[in-house]
Structure 1
Amino acid sequence: MSDCKCKDKDLNIVCRCEDITIEEVRAYIDNGVTDLEQLKRMLRVGMGPCQGRTCTPIIIRELSVATGKPVGEVPLTTFRPPTSPVKLGVLAGGEEDD
């Protein structure tokens, strides 16, 4: 049995929640989008159920390579409330236990 590897590395999925490939991320970066916040708004990376826990480090590394900035200097996205899960019933005006 041979090792099963993706022959086209550009088709590797970066954001599994939103089904975004590294090729898509690199295309946006090549077109001048060098900010994680912009990539989040345009591609929805980091907006799925994992909230970027999987894709954000990979995308930050790509931005670091593209901009020449160290990984620690690539700005992160702005966290906006609610930062914790809220039941839909609470938002709809129901009781918290509903």
Structure 2
Amino acid sequence: MSKTLVCRCEDVTLHELEVALERGHTDLESAKRYTGFGTGWCQGKYCLALCARVIRERGGNADKPITPRPPYHPVSLAVLAGLDETDGEKHGADKHTANGH
């Protein structure tokens, strides 16, 4: 079992990528969704080319582009920043938690 990391952000190892390929995830998008590589802070800037090369070397298809998947429901930046959309003021965490803690 290889402990070589192919995605540092998500700690995906070469072994995990190989297991994904063995289980039929032989294209770039399917392997990405199975293992999680390319979903960390770098969004694939560091690992995508390496993972694509590994997939190609093992007979998979890494040429098809990955389909972006936006959030299911649009989320405004104000909500992400913890701002009330109506008055623009920042509110504490108690506004966003069920029990106020």
Q: Quote the offset at 1:93 in angstroms.
A: 3.3
Q: Give the paired residue count.
A: 83
RMSD after superposition: 2.9
The aligned counterpart of 2:13 is 21
Distance 2:60 2:27 in 1: 13
Q: With structure 2 as the length reference, what TM-score do the two structures score?
A: 0.65
Any stretches of 5+ residues in structure 1 without a counterpart?
A: 1-7
| Structure 2 contact 12–35 (Cα < 8 Å) conserved | yes
Any stretches of 5+ residues in structure 2 without a counterpart?
A: 91-101
Name the % identity. Answer: 35
Higher helix share: 1
Q: Does 1:75 align with 2:64?
A: yes
After the TM superposition, which parts of structure 1 deviate over 4 Å for at least 4 consecutive aligned residues?
A: none
Q: Quote the offset at 1:90 in angstroms.
A: 8.2
Distance 2:15 2:6 in 1: 9
Q: With structure 1 as the length reference, what TM-score do the two structures score?
A: 0.66
